Amino acid sequence: MVPSPISRRTVLRGATALGALVAASSGLSAQQAPVRSVKGPAAPLPPRGEFIIRDATILTMDPKIADLATGSVHVRNGAIVAVAAAIDAPKAQIIDGRGMICMPGIIDTHWHLWTSLFRPFVRADVNELGYFPVSNRLGQQMTPEDSYRAVILGVAEALSAGCTTVHNWAHNVRSPEHGDAELAAMRDAGVRGRFAYGPAQGMADDEPMDFAGIARVQKDWMPGDGMLTMGICSRNVGAMSIGGAARGVLTIDQTKRDWDAARKLGLPITVHTSGPSPITQLGQAGLLGNNDLQLVHPLLTTPEERALLVKHGVSYSTAPTGEARRPSKVGVIQLGELIKDGVKVSLSTDHTTNYNCDPFVAMRILFALHQNRIGDAIPLTVKRLVQLATIDGAVDLGIAAKTGSLTPGKRADIILVRTTDINMTPVGDPYEALVSLAQPSNIDTVIVDGRVLRQGGRFTMLDHAKVVKDAQEAAAGLRARAKWPA
């Protein structure tokens, strides 16, 4: 494939040793060579044009801009220009929004995209074939090519489910080239996101993360065109816990070693808090930072710890689909308490090995568990849940000036949800419909940074059949190399 000017420009940042190899065989210079010239997408990303989404139900998720029962959104060169009842722009293409909810794209704040290939190996009901042992074992067999294919598959699912931003929680970066591959996949799929560079599966706890490799990848990829940002993901801190043995558990000193190095590079940090909460310990060690730390799985916090989180601007991502499967002794999802105490919160998928990405089901689970436990004490509205899935995620990832709401001046990350499907119609309150009724198949159109990546429920650019075939081949390769199941 001859890269178009757009794709050639967007790949420059990722030139690597692998890129040089491609260059040597293709006649391109290393500077010009994409990380993956052959196995990238079949076509470049669609152009950013000028269009108006007309006559949709508009949910802005911006408290200063009213929702509209029927209205329009004007987009030009990737930015939202206007949101109004009627917009006149003669040069703009028209996207018919009748029968649709038009809203900001979903923002997923914690997703291990690299584990997407493990579906044929895991069983939800067999401990030895659970997500942790399987991904730990097979993860150690992964090549950069496997990482690329896993991330493309995961992002394809994210887009299909209406997610326009993904925080790629990559705790299996086996080499800087694996990092390049994951970033290349996010770039090629056109999603917005943060790449959280992590340790590798099987690494010893006393082994520091590869900060030379992290700095090299950061230099090559950042700031790029602004679509992708970077951080690190840390091994668990200070306690054995669910998945702790598989993923590594650091002492406070080891944590300080890794986190200080990340902060020196200006990289935000994310960490799981499964099991006993490390918040007090982290606070005592001066590691809670200043608006640069995200915790995942808010299950066991105390009021004092939540006050610490507010003080340091620490966010908490809940991944209810998996959290709801955990034994009650490891805690309950404390969404109500966190919101009441003013902690930054957001929504995430976690992984898609033995469940799928469905932000609507995630919101329903949160609502059900909240009502069951403390709904009579702390009110939770359906609109608050949609806020959790959109603008709150942007705040968590530090990109609220760019995305998360339909606000003129922000980038155009927009989805259209069909309300005429059998499971949705007839629709009354649109927030009620999203939280109580919607499913990913209702997502008609997905726009990221002004590029229409899905329309009519189909990819405009990604080759669905190729994504599937590549994932199947990669899973088969892992099976053979691991001599699975022996």
| Nearer Cβ to Zn ion (157/350) | 350
Q: Identify which of residues 10 and 349 has a Cβ nearer to Zn ion in the complex.
A: 349
For Zn ion, which is the closer residue by CB, 350 or 444? Answer: 350
Tell me how far apart the alpha carbons of residues 365 and 103 are, in angstroms, rounded to a whole number: 21
How many chain residues interact with Zn ion (CB under 5 A)?
1
200/204 Cα distance (integer angstroms): 9
Closest approach, Cβ 131 to Zn ion, in A, equals 9
The 3-class secondary structure across the chain, one letter per residue, is: CCCCHHHHHHHHHHCCHHHHHHHHHHCCCCCCCCCCCCCCCCCCCCCCCEEEEEEEEECCCCCCCCCEEEEEEEEECCEEEEEECCCCCCCCEEEECCCEEEEECEEEEEECHHHHHHCCCCCCCCHHHCHHHHHHHHHCCCCHHHHHHHHHHHHHHHHHCCEEEEEEEECCCCCHHHHHHHHHHHHHHCCEEEEEECCCCCCCCCCCCCHHHHHHHHHHHCCCCCCEEEEEEECEECCCCCCHHHHCEECHHHHHHHHHHHHHCCCCEEEECCCCCCHHHHHHCCCCCCCCEEEECCCCCCHHHHHHHHHHCCEEEECHHHHCCCCHHHCCCCHHHHHHHCCEEEECCECCCCCCCCHHHHHHHHHHHHHHHHCCCCCCCHHHHHHHHCHHHHHHCCCCCCCCCCCCCCECCEEEEECCCCCCCCCCCHHHHHHHCCCHHHEEEEEECCEEEEECCEECCCCHHHHHHHHHHHHHHHHHHCCCCC
Which lies closer to Zn ion via its Cβ, residue 146 or residue 350?
A: 350
* Of 189, 188, 184, 190, residue with least CA distance to 170: 184
Per the CB < 8 A criterion, the answer to whether 274 and 297 are in contact is yes
Q: How far is the CB of 402 from Zn ion (least distance, A)?
A: 24
- Binding letters toward Zn ion, positions 349-388, x by CB under 5 A: -x--------------------------------------
> Contact at 8 Å (CB) between 478 and 141?
yes
Q: Looking at beta carbons only, is 326 or 340 nearer to Zn ion?
A: 326
Q: Provide the minimum distance between the beta carbon of 42 and Zn ion in the complex, in angstroms, as a whole number.
A: 31
- Residue 188 Cβ vs Zn ion, minimum distance, rounded to whole Å: 24
Instruction: Between 168 and 387, name the residue whose CB sits nearer to Zn ion.
Output: 168
Q: Which is nearer to Zn ion, 180 or 350 (CB)?
A: 350
Give min distance, CB of 324 to Zn ion, in A.
Answer: 14
Smallest distance from Zn ion to CB 475, Å: 21
Residue 272 CB, nearest distance to Zn ion (Å)? 6
Residue placing its CB nearer to Zn ion in the complex, 350 or 358: 350
Give the per-residue contact string, 440-459, with Zn ion (x = CB under 5 A; - = no).
--------------------
- What Rg, from alpha-carbon coordinates, does the chain have? 22
Nearer to Zn ion, 319 or 386 (CB): 319
Give the whole-angstrom CA distance, residue 333 versus residue 171.
23
Mark residues 325-354: x for contact with Zn ion by CB under 5 A, - for none.
Answer: -------------------------x----
Shortest distance, position 249 Cβ to Zn ion, whole Å: 15
Least distance from Zn ion to the Cβ atom of residue 332, Å: 17
Q: Which is closer to Zn ion, CB of 145 or CB of 350?
A: 350
Residue with smallest beta-carbon separation from Zn ion: 350
**189-218: contacts with Zn ion (CB under 5 A):** none
- For Zn ion, give the closer residue by CB, 350 or 396: 350
Residues at the interface with Zn ion (CB under 5 A): 350
